[in-house]
Amino acid sequence: MDIIKKRAQKWLCIAIALMLISMVGASLVQTSGGSVTIKDLRWETTIGYQMSGLLFVPHGVSEKNKAPAIVVSHGMFNNREMQDANYVELSRRGYVVLSMDMFSHGNSENVPNIGVLTTGMYEAVKMLATLNYIDTERIGITGHSLGGMSSNAAIAQDNAAPKRLISAVLLNCADATYADAKTKEFTDVYGSRNAGIVAAQYDEFFMRDVDQNGNPTSSKDYIKYSNAQSFLHFGIDPKESDNRVADTIYRQTIDGKEAIRVIYNPPITHPWSHFSERSTSATIEFFNAALGSPNSIPAGSQVWQVKELFNLIGLIGFTMFVLCLAVLMLFTPFFSSLRSNEVVSVRDATHGGKSWFWGMLSATAAFGALTYVPVLTHVKSFTMNKDPWPQSSPYGISVWALLCGLFTILLLVLFYYLYGRKNGFNLAERGVRMPLNKIWRTVVLSIVVIAISYSCVFFADYFFKTDFRLWVLAVKAFGPDKILVSIFPYAVFFLIFYIANSVAVNSFNFIRIGSKEGKQNEWVNTAILALFNTLPIVILLLLQYIDKFSTGFLLFDNARMQIVWTFPLLVILPVTAILSRKIYRITNNPYLPGIINGIIVTLVACSNTLTWG
């Protein structure tokens, strides 16, 4: 055990070093080596809701040296940090950039419905226009997905305003306003503004049209059909014109001003677009043409990927920190009773035990894959207001997790009474049954580990304006309201799943797979269990995207958003299985890692989504 303590101390120091490297490195990239100042803003909007945003101000910008400005917006169920590729690249090119948290997201105030939510983009524009170092003749907006829809709402508001503030708009993975709402005829609501679209060829949600026979078209063929062509032809009926092509800027004089229209058509998916070199290049090229770039840097010269590498280093460091801290706390006097007398090693199993092992793994994988879409499409997992819970996406996933947890418990009960009890399976020996004094200490230790671990996240946010993330998976700082929201039902449902999963992975399934003995075989067992933990998600994603890339259409078209939500689970499910095994081997206690995993996943889910007011 002394060796374990020394190793944990060493790796804890390494974990802290990794997080610090992440904070400093990511900060240097997003500030362009210190030449861009970042300001964390909170302001009261004109409609009475508070909004949050990160403002990036390049050095040298002043009242006498005004700069063009761009508002960048994330999509639904995300937050302002999701736009890091855009705000890093645009700010280093001299633009003032405001990366907003949409209403009901991140640190912005929660609103009651989608109608109020989409007004946030124009509120951000109006705030920018009050800054004396902004060139108000060159304000642009861009948003991904719902951020693009909010951009369209901002254009409508700007059209109705006494003085127009928006001079350029780029919709990223969102359709333009093609037709007049009343007449249904093609129109150009963008007028003399510069306008563009990033139309992902494999978009799961937008870029659809109908062919001459009224049949739906795929997003891959979007550029060929009427909606795209009308946009590129500045709102006229495309039947009367020649076909225009993607990635080409078209110009036309409107109201005495030259306006541009362009559609970029990269071969990417909807969620890929805010983590894409092609999409970022399109954004840079568009605003260079639309607003004029203060700093001439080629669009292909991008550094945001370096920030993502530092973010990933921090995410790895955070995970290591959680594990090592939990282990070291077991050597303190108060929690030492939770430590096992010896390291738990892989156990031998009879032929019948191995049959149960493979049978239960197959059954849980099949159950998870078969139930995900029906569960999430039949509970209210994608709502436009509070119905019944403030966070709909974590609700849907947590309900599915709850059912998977209950199914796992059912299988474990069947195994114990039909096979295990007769063949020497001892619940106390495996850590399933334990005294009450250990249970309450387990809960306290879990809370201590999570609180200290998350203090590193808040440290990164406060001092460096960074967090630990990889694409759609993020461990970020949050307000106290997220803790209150997360308690029920999300935390309860996730805890049931992760505790049941830990009990299954460790107490019931930590057995020797082959005939050989030794440490290597323990990792074979761990790898198999991590794989089967993730297998339902792998199956769903393969079915969905093989169909999308081969036919242009989705297999689970009724669960487009719900399938997109599974991407973070590709990391979370195997990592939590490995982490739980590491802690179990030292404690013979499956509940400790189960509680730690359950609460951290709840906090990750509830701090990175939409919350209705």
Q: Domain coordinates of the chain in residue numbers?
A: 31-297, 344-440+477-607
Please give the structure tokens belonging to residue 500: 């049941």
Q: What predicted TM-score, i.e. pTM, was given to this entire model?
A: 0.96
Q: What is the pLDDT of residue 517?
A: 53
Contact call for residues 490 and 395 (beta carbons, < 8 A)? yes
Element (H, E) at 286: helix 277-291
Cα separation, 42 vs 104, whole angstroms: 14
Q: What is the pLDDT of residue 539?
A: 98
Question: Please, is 155 exposed, middle or buried when counting C-beta atoms within 10 Å of its C-beta (0-12, 13-18, 19+)?
Answer: buried
Please give the structure tokens belonging to residue 274: 């805010």
| Alpha-carbon separation of residue 186 from 181, 183, 435 (angstroms) | 10, 9, 72
Q: What is the pLDDT of residue 578?
A: 98
| Alpha-carbon separation of residue 205 from 99, 114, 416, 569 (angstroms) | 23, 17, 46, 21
Please give the structure tokens belonging to residue 41: 């803003």
| SS3 assignment, position 180 | coil
Cα separation, 11 vs 527, whole angstroms: 21
Q: What is the pLDDT of residue 515?
A: 56
Cα separation, 276 vs 279, whole angstroms: 5
Element (H, E) at 250: strand 250-254
Could you read off the pLDDT of 452-510 as tens digits, one per residue? 999 999 999 999 999 999 999 999 999 999 999 999 999 999 999 999 999 999 999 99
Return the bridge partners of 169, or none. Answer: 141, 195
Which one is the CATH code of 31-297: 3.40.50.1820, 3.20.20.70, 3.40.640.10, 3.40.50.300? 3.40.50.1820
Element (H, E) at 68: strand 67-73
Q: What is the pLDDT of residue 375?
A: 98
Contact call for residues 197 and 229 (beta carbons, < 8 A)? no
Q: What is the pLDDT of residue 522?
A: 84
Residues of the chain with pLDDT below 70 are 514-520
Question: Please, is 142 exposed, middle or buried when counting C-beta atoms within 10 Å of its C-beta (0-12, 13-18, 19+)?
Answer: buried
Cα separation, 604 vs 613, whole angstroms: 20
The candidate with the shortest Cα–Cα distance to 446, out of 587, 317, 346, is 587
Cα separation, 353 vs 285, whole angstroms: 61
Cα separation, 430 vs 250, whole angstroms: 69
Cα separation, 506 vs 431, whole angstroms: 9
Cα separation, 402 vs 353, whole angstroms: 26
Could you read off the pLDDT of 139-197 as tens digits, one per residue? 999 999 999 999 999 999 999 999 999 999 999 999 999 999 999 999 999 999 999 99
